[in-house]
């Protein structure tokens, strides 16, 4: 009898803990193969590190499960299929990740239909967030970096040539830069859009060299493509011809700097995140990264977007005590703020669900023998997506 009672009690205890245990499933889509497929782990590692360091702050019994999927680079069909499966079969509570704009655009209708909040941790074309009320972005827009870049460049250069990858973020970066550079009195002497994959770099660089601009402003997706730009810029002798390479920080992405060699030294960019930033929150972030992944490893801006996105997800989980309601989650996301992001103070603009953040002018310099994006000044503070601000005025 005593044994039976003990068994019944044990069974009850088990049921009670099972009812208590709550697993939040995050469907995490990023690129582990294809164009710049080495970038996916920079996002996943940030999420996993955040979860590891902060798990104990979750309500009792709440666990995070990360379901990672490879969208194989810019591949909207694959991204759509993965998101569909994650929502329908795996019943994820949230979708997150995504490097490439076309993939984010393809996932948007699924987030809307299934009412699954979708936290974009990289893809940066301005229009994306308008495609679903369930999208929130913790990364950046190209307008946020390229508009202040043009304002700054107009004070330094008379003429510029623009070169961008021919897809959403490239078009945004081009339009934003041309607008502010010409408003500031600069003259555009040429603009070219190059294929996203395997452009004939030598031919494009030669064309730029022949136009003799003071500056060449480039946007290409971060990763190996950035190194290809740097090498061809140097090989075709644009630096020796006195042309300055400038761009949003994608062209000097932190993790590629050691592969670029000395040609990157002195390149000036505008961006929201640098692994070399001296802010205490960033120093702590970089130290935790090195402790977890190795002394030679550094996070990049995709890591920063993923880290902050996870912090925002934790805020929603805590506020709802582990039971996520999609609409309530979106309301919490819209009010999210952090004074303590590795990139400085950030918040979500409740009207647009886009991140608000500072933009820094940086120069690649050697620190302790290693190239780094050294922040020189804050060129714009608490920047809302300028494209959406301009749309409002129309």
Helix axes 301-319, 40-54, angle to 10 degrees: 40
Which residues have C-beta within 8 Å of that of residue 63, sequence separation ≥ 6? 21, 22, 23, 24, 55
Closest to ligand PHB by CB, 99 or 364: 99
Answer for which of 37, 40, 41, 169 binds ligand PHB (CB under 6 A) is: 169
Closest to ligand PHB by CB, 100 or 233: 100
Closest to ligand PHB by CB, 64 or 142: 142
> In the complex, what is the shortest distance from the CB of residue 312 to ligand PHB, in angstroms, rounded to a whole number?
19
Closest to ligand PHB by CB, 143 or 314: 143
Site string for ligand PHB, 116-155 (x = CB under 6 A): -------xxx------------------------------
Q: Tokens 């996943």 — which residue?
A: 44
Question: Could you say whether residue 99 binds ligand PHB (CB under 6 A)?
Answer: yes
129 in Cβ contact with 61 (< 8 Å): no
Answer for which of 97, 186, 199, 221 binds ligand PHB (CB under 6 A) is: 221
**Residues in binding contact with ligand PHB, number by CB under 6 A:** 10
By beta-carbon distance, which residue lies closest to ligand PHB?
221
Structure tokens at 306: 């993923």
Closest to ligand PHB by CB, 101 or 329: 101
For residues 19 and 196, give the distance between their C-alpha atoms in angstroms, rounded to a whole number: 49
Tally of residues, the chain: 394
Answer for which of 92, 178, 222, 268 binds ligand PHB (CB under 6 A) is: 222
Structure tokens at 198: 């395997």
Site string for ligand PHB, 239-258 (x = CB under 6 A): -----------x--------
Closest to ligand PHB by CB, 93 or 255: 255
For residues 255 and 275, give the distance between their C-alpha atoms in angstroms, rounded to a whole number: 9
Enumerate residues 276-295 that contact ligand PHB by CB under 6 A: none
> In the complex, what is the shortest distance from the CB of residue 300 to ligand PHB, in angstroms, rounded to a whole number?
10
Question: Could you say whether residue 37 binds ligand PHB (CB under 6 A)?
Answer: no
Q: Is 369 left (phi over 0), alpha (psi -120 to 50) or beta?
A: left
Question: Could you say whether residue 100 binds ligand PHB (CB under 6 A)?
Answer: yes
For residues 389 and 394, give the distance between their C-alpha atoms in angstroms, rounded to a whole number: 9
Contacting residues toward ligand PHB, per CB under 6 A? 99-101, 123-125, 169, 221-222, 250
């Amino acid at each position: 009898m005593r044994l039976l009672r003990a068994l019944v009690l044990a069974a009850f205890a088990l049921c009670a803990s099972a009812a208590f245990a709550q697993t939040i499933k995050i469907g995490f889509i990023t690129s582990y193969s294809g164009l710049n497929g080495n970038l996916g782990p920079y996002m996943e590692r940030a999420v996993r590190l955040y979860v590891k360091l902060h798990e104990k702050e979750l309500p009792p019994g709440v666990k995070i499960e990360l379901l990672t999927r490879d969208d194989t680079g810019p591949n909207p069909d694959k991204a759509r299929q993965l998101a569909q499966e994650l929502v329908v079969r795996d019943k994820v509570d949230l979708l997150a990740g995504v490097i490439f704009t076309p993939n984010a655009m393809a996932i948007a209708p699924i987030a809307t239909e299934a009412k699954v909040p979708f936290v974009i941790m990289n893809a940066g074309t301005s229009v994306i967030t308008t495609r679903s009320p369930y999208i929130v972005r913790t990364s950046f827009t190209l307008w946020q970096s390229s508009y202040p870049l043009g304002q700054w460049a107009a004070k330094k250069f008379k003429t510029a040539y623009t070169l961008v990858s021919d897809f959403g973020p490239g078009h945004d970066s081009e339009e934003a830069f041309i607008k502010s550079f010409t408003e500031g009195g600069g003259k555009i002497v040429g603009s070219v859009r190059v294929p996203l994959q395997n452009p004939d770099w030598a031919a494009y660089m030669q064309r730029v060299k022949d136009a003799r601009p003071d500056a060449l402003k480039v946007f290409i997706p971060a990763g190996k493509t950035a190194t290809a730009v740097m090498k061809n810029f140097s090989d075709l002798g644009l630096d020796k011809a006195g042309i300055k390479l400038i761009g949003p920080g994608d062209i000097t992405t932190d993790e590629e700097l050691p592969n670029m060699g000395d040609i990157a030294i002195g390149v000036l960019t505008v961006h929201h995140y640098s692994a070399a930033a001296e802010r205490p929150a960033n120093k702590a972030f970089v130290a935790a990264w090195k402790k977890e992944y190795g002394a030679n490893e550094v996070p990049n801006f995709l890591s920063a977007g993923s880290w902050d996105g996870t912090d925002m997800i934790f805020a929603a989980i805590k506020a709802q005590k582990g039971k996520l309601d999609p609409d309530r989650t979106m309301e919490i996301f819209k009010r999210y703020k952090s004074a303590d992001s590795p990139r400085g103070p950030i918040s979500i603009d409740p009207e647009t669900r886009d991140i608000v953040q500072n933009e820094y002018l940086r120069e690649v310099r050697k620190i302790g023998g290693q190239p780094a994006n050294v922040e020189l000044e804050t060129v714009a503070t608490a920047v809302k997506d300028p494209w959406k601000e301009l749309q409002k005025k129309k």
